[in-house]
Amino acid sequence: MLLNNHPKRDTFGVFDAQLVDRYFKKSKFSTFISFRRRNKRRSSSMRRNNDYKIFETKLGGKVYFDIDNKMPKIERSHPDNLMGEPKCDCCPPAMSGHRLAIVGNYAYVYGGLCEKRDEDGFHISTDLWRLRLIDNTWKRIPLKDEAYYFAPVSYAWIATKKWGLLTFGGTGFPFGVTINDKLCRLYIKNTKDGCEYNVVPLQSYGSSPLATYGGALIADEEHDCIYYVGGTNGHEYYSDVYRGDFLPFGETSKVYWTLLTSHCFGVAGRYRHEIVLHNNKILMFGGGNADTLYSVNNITYFDLEENNFGVLNTSPDPIHKFPPKRDCFSLIRFDDLVFLMGGRATPDGRTLLDDIWCLDLSTFIWHKNSMKLSFRTAFQASAVDDNGRVYVFGGHRGSSSSQPIHIGRTNMIQSFIASPPSLKSICQRFIAQRYKKGISLSDKAVYSPEMFVKEILPHYNAIKVK
């Protein structure tokens, strides 16, 4: 069987992200053509590889994809656009400071600081965008008016099985002037016309977290609680740890907050860090303040049993040693693997990163992935689906020396594989993306393999007859 010849894992269980993608590229239904784009001089912020391949399909014309195994795959909403940055209204604008979460077969993007299309300047996004992962199709979802009053930049957002999508904190613009102090839930209600989406604040009791942005939120669904750590109000940086318990059992509209620790000596406040819950400890990765960035090799943790902080020493990559200090990066966890991507290497943001690192929580050994992001970026967002495919969306790509004030943002989607995908996932992605222009899938086909086959079969038979 085809899947018996999987590409091999390396020492730390990390896959070459493109290897599995390339493993299943050739199609029985397509004329395969290879070509090399004209060799043009490009800046360091652009793609560093000029090799692409094309499928000429009988249903959808030409479909492009990348073959470089040193960079993530560029997920193209419009396959003909080789730059990967669509400028159309059917795709989200270039943005930074947003968040990304994956629920089932869809990814959701909310908020962020966006560049205005065909104009100078930027604006705060109050839109919710939904990405259908099977074929990279975006859909803008209007929210009810109440959601517009929240501050949707540099907030904390997590996807949970029990409580759906939860968000806390965030700032408007100018940063620090308007800050959210509410725990909110993305509420989805079925109506006759489809689904109605809204961001609803939950009732909070006890010692609620301060109004901050750049903090981190994590869920412990086994114990019906969440934790919020750190953040800033624009002037002070905090290391406070809060626990929020949902009351009563199963209730998703009321949360009781407890302050576990505040202003601990020797633990500096930080923002734009990321946290992971492991063995009843909250591991704090990176982050920083106005003057300092914090290490990811000596990981500060909060012990939930002992109710105190400690430091966990990790082991280096045998060749590349430890990841550099950083903030404003993105992080995902898949099983016992923690992937860390991009971010700022200096507090002023003039040095950005494009590296990808992995920490194995079973050994606490760092491994630097041979792959890099397609460009240096910070304030991007990332999430991982159930099949182990990591998605990275948006972010800012720094400022040029000639225009240091201008920040170039992106709406590019990148992805790579952290684990071998299922055969069902491989087949669905292959068919939906190769024949995207010729096949229009319904949402029901995304959830049901039987419905997917039912909608695909007439197109397959049409090809077979021809």
Torsions phi, psi for 380 (to 5 deg) = -85, 175
pLDDT of residue 329: 97
Contact 290, 349 (CB under 8 A): no
Backbone angles phi and psi of 206, in degrees to 5: 80, -150
User: What percent of the chain shows pLDDT beyond 70?
Assistant: 73
Residue 232 has pLDDT above 90, yes or no: yes
* Residue 451 is assigned to a structural domain of this protein: no
Q: Can you read off the two tokens belonging to residue 33?
A: 């053509």
Cα separation, 40 vs 48, whole angstroms: 11
436 within a domain of the structure (yes/no): no
Which CATH number does the domain housing residue 173 bear?
2.120.10.80
Cβ neighbors of 440 (< 8 A, separation 6 or more) are none
Q: Which of 66-75, 132-141, 248-257 has the lowest mean pLDDT?
A: 66-75
Helices 423-434 and 449-465 cross at an angle (nearest 10°) of: 50
pTM for the model stands at 0.81
Say which residue the tokens 């692409």 belong to. Answer: 52
Q: What would the DSSP string read from start to end of 421-459?
A: PPHHHHHHHHHHHHTTTT----HHHHH-HHHHHHHHHHH
Q: Which residue has the higher pLDDT, 263 or 30?
A: 263
Cα–Cα distance for residue pair 349/340, rounded to 1 Å? 18
Confidence tier at 309 by pLDDT (50, 70, 90) = very high
H/E stretch holding 274 reads strand 274-278
Number of compact structural domains in the chain: 1
Q: 460 lies in a domain?
A: no
Strands 106-110 and 99-103, sheet pairing: antiparallel
* Pairs from 444-452 (Cβ < 8 Å, separation ≥ 24): 446/105, 446/106, 446/132, 446/134, 447/104, 447/105, 449/424, 452/428
pLDDT category of residue 49 using cuts at 50, 70 and 90:
very low
Q: Which residues of 374-402 are buried (b: 16+ CB within 10 A; e: fewer)?
A: bbbbbbbbbbbbebbbbbbbbbbbbeeee
Give the CA distances from residue 311 to residues 209, 259, 339, 354, in Å, rounded to whole numbers and listed in that order.
24, 21, 20, 26
In a domain? residue 238: yes
Which positions ≥6 away from 411 have C-beta within 8 Å? 85, 86, 91, 92, 93, 94, 95, 393, 394
34 belongs to a structural domain? no
pLDDT of residue 378: 95
Q: How many other CB atoms sit within 10 Å of the CB of residue 338?
A: 22
Among all chains, which residue has been given the structure tokens 């002992």? 306
Q: Could you report how far apart the first and last alpha carbons of the chain are, in Å?
A: 29
Tokens 């992106």 sit on residue: 410
Check pLDDT > 90 for residue 443.
Answer: no
In a domain, 102, yes or no: yes
Task: Tabulate helix, strand, coil % of the chain (nearest 5).
Answer: 10, 40, 45
Q: How far apart are CA 451 and CA 456, in angstroms?
A: 9
- Of the candidates 99, 162, 92, 47, the residue with the CA atom closest to the CA atom of residue 380: 99
Q: Following DSSP, what letter does each residue of 33-101 receive, concatenated?
A: EEEE-------TTS-S--EEEEEEETTTEEEEEE--TTSPEEE-SSTT-TTS---STTSPPPEES-EEE
Q: Of the ranges 139-148, 242-251, 396-405, which one carries the lowest mean pLDDT score?
A: 396-405
CA distances from residue 171 to 150, 195, 233 in whole angstroms, order as listed: 8, 27, 9
Q: Which domain holds residue 399?
A: 95-417
Give the whole-angstrom CA distance, residue 141 versus residue 266.
Answer: 45
Instruction: Give the SS3 label for residue 186.
Output: strand
- Are 356 and 339 within 8 A, CB to CB? yes
Q: Say what the pLDDT of residue 308 is.
A: 92
Where residue 291 falls among pLDDT bands split at 50, 70, 90?
very high
Kindly give the pairing relationship between strand 203-206 and strand 254-261.
parallel
Residue 431 lies in a domain: no
Once rounded to an integer, what is the mean pLDDT over residues 314-333?
Answer: 96
- Answer yes or no: is 280 within a domain: yes
Rounded distance, CA 257 to CA 240, Å?
A: 12
Q: In degrees, to the nearest 5, what angle opens at C-alpha 367 toward C-alphas 362 and 368?
A: 155
Q: Which residue has the tokens 């085809």?
A: 2
